[in-house]
Amino acid sequence: MKFLKKWHFYTKVFFYILLLSSCEAFVEIDAPNDQLTGDEIYQEAGTVTAALTNIYAHLRDDGITNGRLNGMNNLLGLYADELDLHSTSLPQIQSFYLSSLEASNTNVSNLWKNSYNLIYAANAIIEGLEKTSELKAQEKKQFLGEAYFVRGFLHFYLVNLFGDIPYIDTTDYKTNSKVSRMPFEEVYTNIIADLVQSKSLLTEKYTSSEKVRPNKWAASALLARVYLYHKDWQKALEESTAIINSGSYQLEPNINKVFLKTSPETLWQFSTAANGYNTYEGFTFIFNSGPPRTVALSNRLIQSFNFTDGRLANWTKAISKGSNSWYHPYKYKEQKPTSTSKEYSIMFRLAEQFLIRAEARVKLGDVSGAVQDLNTIRIRAGLIATTATDQEAVFNAILQERRHELFTELGHRWFDLKRTGKASSYLPLIKSNWKSTAILLPIPTSELILNPNLNPQNNGY
């Protein structure tokens, strides 16, 4: 009997994962097969956990946040000024580096398609859970909180990459196949609503000691970032302060331990596919001989560091050949498997919250409070306190600190240049092909063909 129950459980998990892995872009989804999407999937905590875990696995392995060459860490690092491309055999990635993107670019298409596939999966969980009465109340709240979080998380990146986008909150394939793009202000309203809902459902506790599924503070961390990008300084201040004051997280004093899976400043991270595996970021970025096979940190970034900055010494590594030297990111230090996993890919960490609060404070006129938060990060890095004193100088110092603290992490540098209006004045100085219309990625041609309601295409493509 126990064997049959376990077999039945894993069969349902298998069917759910098969459904998700076989989904095409949301505009292409056929009518759901009742055998695979029946309400029974949402009547057991184990199958819902498996569905959510599968979403996180896709985010880690092939989604928008993956640490491979086709993830945001690399693509947006090249699109901005963090990374240089050394390979001549990666034309789809080279287009990001040279600011010569076309709407047919496969990496652009995958950013769009893979994100909407996972949004569809989150919506399926939300709809399934709303119909079931079989789960315990707290289990149901946890699962719903995670699904709303994922939906807001993915739409946040999509709207910042593509501008006006559809906000998808249903699995109705007929509706989704004809959907139109929504003004970005409305998208932000929906993102915030989802995250506020998520935060109200989740608790401060994690489901395990490894912080691999979001809790209340992860939702709050994303809300703080959303409010910052939306220039709602007061709410960004409130969310970041709540996290900092929660007592749940502390800055890791040893800069070499910040990216370990046990780091006390991590709010949310992805577990690895198997014990002993480490991050895709380490595998992708680390190289042990020169010249680099794919990408390396740009000299522009390296030269922007103060030579006393501990992040330069510990989060980058020089590889030399003859008179030439190249640097690779060295936040994640494990390129290969180890006896047990040492590093997980980090999505949110406490240092960002200090920088969010610093920026919110300076925009609200609290210059001394902003300096205090800025110096917290600087001193951890081995630097002296900032010499900036007036509002504009402190703001610019915060942006520089974000550049050094958050490099090659999920496109922070690109999004900072974009949201502060600096991209169109700065990037033409270093990229000969840069045009102001490159501030948004193109809507994939394949999506426009499938659903003409997504027109018009973004300017410049």
For the stretch 356-367, pLDDT in tens is: 999 999 999 999
Tell me if 155 sits within 8 A of 65, measured CB to CB.
Answer: no
Within a domain: 61: yes
Instruction: With H, G, I as helix, E, B as strand and everything else as coil, classify residue 441.
Output: coil
329 sits in which H/E element: strand 324-329
Query: Which residues have CB under 8 Å from 147's CB, separation 6+?
Result: 52, 122, 123, 125, 126, 129
Please report the pLDDT score of residue 281 as a whole number.
Answer: 98
Within a domain: 397: no
pLDDT digits over 330-386, tens only?
Answer: 999 999 999 999 999 999 999 999 999 999 999 999 999 999 999 999 999 999 999
What is the span of the domain harbouring residue 46? 1-202
Question: What are phi and psi for residue 146, nearest 5 degrees?
Answer: -70, -40
Within a domain: 47: yes
Burial of 243 (0-12, 13-18, 19+ CB in 10 A): buried
Within a domain: 70: yes
Below-50 pLDDT ranges, the chain: 1-36
Output the CA–CA distances (angstroms, integers) from residue 376 to 110, 132, 225, 355, in the order listed: 38, 47, 19, 9
Residue type, 245: N
Split into its structural domains, the chain has a count of 1
Please report the pLDDT score of residue 7 as a whole number.
Answer: 35
- Cα separation, 158 vs 116, whole angstroms: 9
Within a domain: 101: yes
Within a domain: 149: yes
Please report the pLDDT score of residue 91 as a whole number.
Answer: 98
- Cα separation, 20 vs 9, whole angstroms: 17
Tell me if 361 sits within 8 A of 353, measured CB to CB.
Answer: no
Please report the pLDDT score of residue 38 as a whole number.
Answer: 57
Within a domain: 439: no
Within a domain: 279: no
**Between vectors from CA 63 to CA 330 and to CA 110, what angle results, nearest 5°?**
115
Residue 84 belongs to domain with CATH number:
1.25.40.390
